Each structure stands twice: as structure tokens, then as C-alpha cells.
Structure 1
Amino acid sequence: MMNKIKFLFETKMYLISILPYVFTFRPYDGSETYGINKTVGWAFDITGISFYILYFLLTFFLGFSLLAIIKTKTNFILSILFFLGISYCCLFQNSYKNIDLIDNLLLISTFLYILIFINSIYLKFKSPK
């Protein structure tokens, strides 16, 4: 079982980077609605939503797909940390209470993504001695 998980996180990271989309598109429960419902309209609180997280997820998917095309392996530990950070960002992105934490985790996950990408490319094309 551990070998299969390691195989997924080292070679099929593009498949794992699709999973946070499932967390992003959960049903709307109406808890973010506030205000008085008059004929003027409704009031929605959009201050706690990170709209740009979907663009980051698309970039991560395309980057990991490129790594899969050139058949590189990613670092197992960094890939797990990346997946946990992105999953947390997608699960709790609609909570306006911890938007700063989510934005910081997104920055850390982006840094991890860059580390994984550069490390994988470097190990693939490093010259043997």
C-alpha cells in the first residue's frame, strides 16, 4: 500500500493535483449570506473567498503534467506537504475568519511547488559524473 502511495506522489502528481478541485466545488450552504432581504437585493460577503486559488490549481496541474510528460520523479515528502497545504486552502477558502492563514498557506504551497519543479528538472537533466 505504501509503495502505491509513494508511486502516486512521485510519478502521478498531476492526478493528485486535481483532487483539491473536488474540495473547491462543494455545495453552497448559505452560511455566507447576511443582510436584509428586501426588494433592493441580497448582500453576499465575498471578502473571504480567494478567487485566484483556481488559477493556482490550474497552474499546478499544468506544471505537474509537464513533469509527467518528461518522465521526472518528484520528491515524496515535498509532494505530500504540497498536497496537504493546497487541500487545506481549498477546504476552508470560504471562511472569512482565516483568510490570512489560507493566503499564507497558498504562498507556502506555491514555494513548495517551485521547489518540487526545479528539483525534478535538475535531477532529470543533471550530467552523470
Structure 2
Amino acid sequence: MIWLWIALGGALGAVSRYGVNLWLYPVFEQRFPLPTLAVNLVGSLMMGVAYVLLIERGSFHPDLRHFLMTGFLGALTTFSAFSMDAVALLRNGDLLTSAAYVLLSVCTCIIATLLAIKFTAYFL
């Protein structure tokens, strides 16, 4: 049953992200990727609130965690999960590990995307 909650949340998160793109992209065109920044920021804020209410306090039914955190926020922005992982490392006192995770994630993902674009454009 958990997969159903995740799928439902994921569908709503994906549609929400698309809606934000439709709403903000025409305003800013290609001058600045505000839609992506907005969903990353809002999703990360929501992840922090959800973490406290769902995990630390157990204020809501456990299925809401799968629906909201994995499904909705996971589809809205994976940056929220990335942020939660980095914060978890910080809260455990692993400052160096957290910094390495952030740097490695951001740098390697940008490089991987660039390499994939170059490779695909050249070979396919």
C-alpha cells in the first residue's frame, strides 16, 4: 500500500512542479532559472517541516510520510531529499562528511550532465 501513497504523492508533486514552471517561466524567460530555484527552496522548506512533524514528533499518520516526503516532495524536487541528507549529516556532527557530500553531489552531477550532453550529441 505504501507504493500507492508514494505514486499518488509523486503524481501531485510532478504536476505541481510543471505548474510552477508554467507560472514563473514566462515572467523570467531564460534570464534566470527561477522556477527551479523556487521549487528547490519551497520543497526544502517543506521537507524540514515534514521531518519535524512526521518523523521527530509523529504528529500524523506514518503513511503521510511516504505520500508527502518521498512522493510529493520527491517529485516536486529531489533537492529537498538532498538537503535533508546533508542536514542529517550535519546534525550527527559530520561537518566534513556533509560538506564533501554537498560538493561531490553538486559538482559531479553538473559534470555528469555536461558529459552526457556532449556524449549524446557526438555519438547519437
- The TM-score normalised by the length of structure 1 is 0.31
Higher strand share: 1
Task: Return the index of the structure with the highest Cα Rg.
Answer: 1
Higher helix share: 2
